[in-house]
Amino acid sequence: MKFTHEHTDGKARACLLETGRGVIHTPSFMPVGTIGTVKAMSPDELKEMGAEIILCNTYHLYLRPGHEIIKSLGGIHTFMNWDRPVLTDSGGFQVYSLSALRKIEDDGVHFKSHLDGSMHFLGPKEAMEIQQALGSDIAMVLDDCTPYPSTHEYAFTSLYRTVRWAEQCKELQREGQALFGIVQGGLFEDLRRKSAEELIRIGFDGYAAGGLSVGEPKDDMHRMISFTAPLLPEDKPRYLMGIGDLGDVLKAVETGFDMFDCVMPTRNARNGTLFTSRGRISIKREEFKADPGPLDPECQCYTCLNFSRGYLRHLFLSKEILSMRLNTIHNLFFYLQFFENMRKSIQEGNFTEFGTRWKPILT
Amino acid sequence: MKFTHEHTDGKARACLLETGRGVIHTPSFMPVGTIGTVKAMSPDELKEMGAEIILCNTYHLYLRPGHEIIKSLGGIHTFMNWDRPVLTDSGGFQVYSLSALRKIEDDGVHFKSHLDGSMHFLGPKEAMEIQQALGSDIAMVLDDCTPYPSTHEYAFTSLYRTVRWAEQCKELQREGQALFGIVQGGLFEDLRRKSAEELIRIGFDGYAAGGLSVGEPKDDMHRMISFTAPLLPEDKPRYLMGIGDLGDVLKAVETGFDMFDCVMPTRNARNGTLFTSRGRISIKREEFKADPGPLDPECQCYTCLNFSRGYLRHLFLSKEILSMRLNTIHNLFFYLQFFENMRKSIQEGNFTEFGTRWKPILT
């Protein structure tokens, strides 16, 4: 995996991440394909709208259908018919946020499946085995997500657990799969610094910030984003995990983050909330009943080029599958366009103007 | 609308139905787009798989979003972005099968909406007004669907109601929209004959058989299909309403029917039942868990060319939207291919062999 800076504008970076399965232009947005499908989308549609990499969830795929089945069906790319890069998370965050019960021990986590209540164990060895069976292009180390709020003492213990697990994951890394470390440390700057130092000592192909957007105030989140970015190596990709509110993304790109994932565009689409160049709209509103115009007159997506707000409202109220499809196409296209234009603004030295123009629309 | 015979094989016919929005090759299958969308499909996908005409339901579109809204949004074609022919039913059958309560009078039917319990009235005038507002290429007369079982007396009264309504619809027909009559008469041959004679006297652009597949034994249905077809003019399209079991379709084409619609391929797809060249399969079966093969090795649809049974099973069990999409693509493609091959067999004088080959697979 090769990472090249193309342009910088302040601390914001436009880079190229070259993988065996294609180039990723950063800042990059990764649509979330939880269980091996970006909800409501076909792989062809994702390509058409310009998605260069997607994220799949190790936790979900481990539970269903199981990584061994995916391996026997040719790995995650063949399984879902997606030949571009895939990043898999380690499962750590889902165990933290989804499982009915979890018991953290030094060598891993015992947890209860949110699907059927069965008990499972996930340690660094398991996380690597699963991700290797899936065959993702970028794997993540197993991390212990520090809850909010946490005491300094708890965050410290949790952080060192993540560091030890990261070390073990690194030892198990195999040729052909990149591995990213994950900075933890809660809201404590000294711990975030320590975490970054330890991970850099171990040495990874990229560095992520985890444990944010877990309930903390926005100001604290922004503070930690700004604080963490410069701790991470300049010559490696920096990935801000799970954060996709575009206002937060602007903030993070400004500080030097490169990669993002979030369910926001896809989940909102299914709930009828659509992103437009004039702000969010809820498609179910009465005023759109007989509106012949497109969702967003400035948008060139399949939905906006072919269907009226009146039709989209009707599909949404009727709970039609096509509603979820067309809304998802629009929101993902909007996100990917936003990232492309943000990248352009960095290349042209206009990133600040780009942010200034978008901030009032995004809030 | 121009209707031309190309080939006959016994009583089976391969014809061309030319409309202002394109040619329909018969025997023709019309996917059902109930409320202005063939469930789970985009209009582009329908075109790619070769659908030449779709059916939309007047009853559903009248209740939601309302025909006036569709008219103000440019009519049904613009509304759903489908530029090929659309046939609308009259609403008669849905009032019969869906509404919570109906009271038939000489001038129409009072019925209760299945959506919100509100009361509505549908007579021949309303049925024509709604279909004209929708702007379908082929409209159907309002008919009174005779229930099964019915006495001869009831079926007689019901039949003459349909005839009177058909006369009134005919008077309201407008340039640019074809109008088909509907033969009723329950399971009584004398009434079916009378019905056909009366409709022919009025004169329509095509003739349909209604009131079948409403609970009667299969033998009775087949008997009425065989009996009714030769009563209808040779030089006009013959449409067998709502029947789409492919065994029944073979029977009906054999007797000279040309057009068909049914929710079977789309509804079954969403329930995980898939049609293949080797018979039906239920994709949820354990045996497909790690099956790398396509649904149907002989099928060239997008689903079969790109995804394994193992993946499709996983999507179905996970209730993913992509499951309904891929299954629907496959089933509709299978149906449309079946019809295309059936047509070819008529052209080549092999229709009997075609039926003999398929019958054991379809039962």
Q: By percentage, how much of chain B surpasses pLDDT 90?
A: 98
User: Please, what is the angle between helix A246-255 and helix A351-362, to 10°?
Assistant: 160
Q: Which residues of chain A have a CB within 8 Å of the CB of B294?
A: none
How does residue A100 score in pLDDT terms, banded at 50, 70 and 90? Answer: confident
* Residue B39 contacts A where some CB pair is shorter than 8 Å: yes
Q: Do residue B37 and residue A315 have CB atoms under 8 angstroms apart?
A: yes
* Residue A22 contacts B where some CB pair is shorter than 8 Å: no
Q: What is the mean pLDDT of residues A7-18?
A: 98
Q: Give the DSSP letter string of B189-216.
A: HHHHHHHHHHHHHH--SEEEE-S-SSS-
- In eight-state DSSP terms, residue A149 is S
The pLDDT tens digits of the residues spanning A167-223 come to 999 999 999 999 999 999 999 999 999 999 999 999 999 999 999 999 999 999 999
Which chain A residue is nearest to residue B41, measuring alpha carbons? A322
* Residue B16 contacts A where some CB pair is shorter than 8 Å: no
Query: Exposure of A303 by Cβ count < 10 A (0-12 exposed, 13-18 middle, 19+ buried)?
Result: buried
The pLDDT tens digits of the residues spanning B275-314 come to 999 999 999 999 999 999 999 999 999 999 999 999 999 9
* Residue B72 contacts A where some CB pair is shorter than 8 Å: yes
User: What CA–CA distances, in Å, run from B236 to A222, B49, B87, B251, B351?
Assistant: 71, 26, 16, 19, 21
Q: Give the DSSP letter string of A218-261.
A: HHHHHHHHHHHGGGS-TTS-EEETT---HHHHHHHHHHT--EEE
The yes-or-no verdict on residue A14 having pLDDT over 90 is: yes
Q: Which residues of chain A have a CB within 8 Å of the CB of B269?
A: none
Q: How many angstroms separate the CA of residue B310 from the nearest CA in chain A?
A: 7
Instruction: Copy the structure tokens of residue A195.
Output: 């975490």
Per-window interface: A 169-198 vs B, CB < 8 A: none
Q: What is the mean pLDDT of residues B165-190?
A: 98
The yes-or-no verdict on residue B191 having pLDDT over 90 is: yes
Map residue A323 onto helix, strand or coil: helix
The pLDDT tens digits of the residues spanning B198-234 come to 999 999 999 999 999 999 999 999 999 999 999 999 9
The yes-or-no verdict on residue B19 having pLDDT over 90 is: yes
The pLDDT tens digits of the residues spanning B101-126 come to 899 999 999 999 999 999 999 999 99
* Residue B35 contacts A where some CB pair is shorter than 8 Å: yes
* Residue B222 contacts A where some CB pair is shorter than 8 Å: no
Q: How many angstroms separate the CA of residue B335 from the nearest CA in chain A?
A: 21
Best mutation target, B41, B46, B64, B73, to test chain A (most A CBs within 10 A) = B73
Pairing label, strands A102-105, A108-112: antiparallel
User: What CA–CA distances, in Å, run from B335 to B51, B237, B244, B281, B338?
Assistant: 10, 20, 9, 15, 5
Of B181, B332, B257, give the one whose Cα is nearest residue B13. Answer: B257
Of B133, B161, B140, B135, give the one whose Cα is nearest residue B69. Answer: B133
The pLDDT tens digits of the residues spanning A310-344 come to 999 999 999 999 999 999 999 999 999 999 999 99
* A176 dihedral zone (left: phi>0; alpha: psi -120 to 50; beta): left
CB B11 within 8 A of CB B257: no
Q: Which residues of chain B have a CB within 8 Å of the CB of A308?
A: 73, 79
Q: Do residue A321 and residue B318 have CB atoms under 8 angstroms apart?
A: no
The yes-or-no verdict on residue A4 having pLDDT over 90 is: yes
User: Please, what is the angle between helix B351-362 and helix B246-255, to 10°?
Assistant: 160
Best mutation target, B32, B34, B37, to test chain A (most A CBs within 10 A) = B37
First-to-last C-alpha distance (Å) of chain A: 36
Query: Exposure of B151 by Cβ count < 10 A (0-12 exposed, 13-18 middle, 19+ buried)?
Result: exposed
Sorted by sequence, the CB contacts under 8 Å of residue A140 that are 6+ apart come out as A87, A88, A89, A90, A92, A131, A179, A180, A182, A208
Q: Distance between CA B134 and CA B79 in Å, rounded?
A: 9
Q: Which residues of chain A have a CB within 8 Å of the CB of B313?
A: 65
* Residue B67 contacts A where some CB pair is shorter than 8 Å: no
Best mutation target, B266, B322, B327, B330, to test chain A (most A CBs within 10 A) = B322
Could you tell me how many CB contacts below 8 A there are between chain A and chain B? Answer: 102
Q: Distance between CA B173 and CA B151 in Å, rounded?
A: 32
Map residue A143 onto helix, strand or coil: coil
Q: How many CB atoms lie within 10 A of CB A110?
A: 16
Question: Which amino acid appears at position A290 of this protein?
Answer: A
Q: Round the average pLDDT of chain A to a whole number and report it.
A: 97
The pLDDT tens digits of the residues spanning B124-154 come to 999 999 999 999 999 999 999 999 999 999 9
Q: How many angstroms separate the CA of residue A43 from the nearest CA in chain B?
A: 10
User: What CA–CA distances, in Å, run from A204 to A358, B92, B99, B326?
Assistant: 34, 68, 64, 39
Query: Exposure of A126 by Cβ count < 10 A (0-12 exposed, 13-18 middle, 19+ buried)?
Result: buried
The pLDDT tens digits of the residues spanning A128-166 come to 999 999 999 999 999 999 999 999 999 999 999 999 999
Q: What is the pLDDT of residue A363?
A: 83
How does residue A254 score in pLDDT terms, banded at 50, 70 and 90? Answer: very high
Q: What is the mean pLDDT of residues B152-168?
A: 97
Sorted by sequence, the CB contacts under 8 Å of residue A329 that are 6+ apart come out as A41, A45, A49, A301, A302, A303
Would the ipTM clear 0.85, i.e. be above it?
Answer: yes
Largest CA distance in chain A: 61
Question: Which residue out of A9, A89, A137, A296 is catalytically annotated?
Answer: A89
Instruction: Copy the structure tokens of residue A190.
Output: 């000294």
Q: What are phi and psi of A140, to 5 degrees?
A: -115, 145
Query: Exposure of B100 by Cβ count < 10 A (0-12 exposed, 13-18 middle, 19+ buried)?
Result: exposed
The yes-or-no verdict on residue B100 having pLDDT over 90 is: no
The yes-or-no verdict on residue A31 having pLDDT over 90 is: yes
The yes-or-no verdict on residue B58 having pLDDT over 90 is: yes
Question: Which residue out of A137, A143, A144, A261 is catalytically annotated?
Answer: A261
The yes-or-no verdict on residue B363 having pLDDT over 90 is: no
CB A47 within 8 A of CB A84: yes
Best mutation target, B114, B318, B327, to test chain A (most A CBs within 10 A) = B318
The yes-or-no verdict on residue A101 having pLDDT over 90 is: no
The pLDDT tens digits of the residues spanning A39-82 come to 999 999 999 999 999 999 999 999 999 999 999 999 999 999 99
Q: How far is CA A158 from the centre of its chain?
A: 22
Q: Which residues of chain B have a CB within 8 Å of the CB of A61?
A: none
Q: Distance between CA A18 and CA A5 in Å, rounded?
A: 11
**ω into A149 cis (within 30 of 0):** yes
How does residue B99 score in pLDDT terms, banded at 50, 70 and 90? Answer: confident
Which chain A residue is nearest to residue B326, measuring alpha carbons? A42
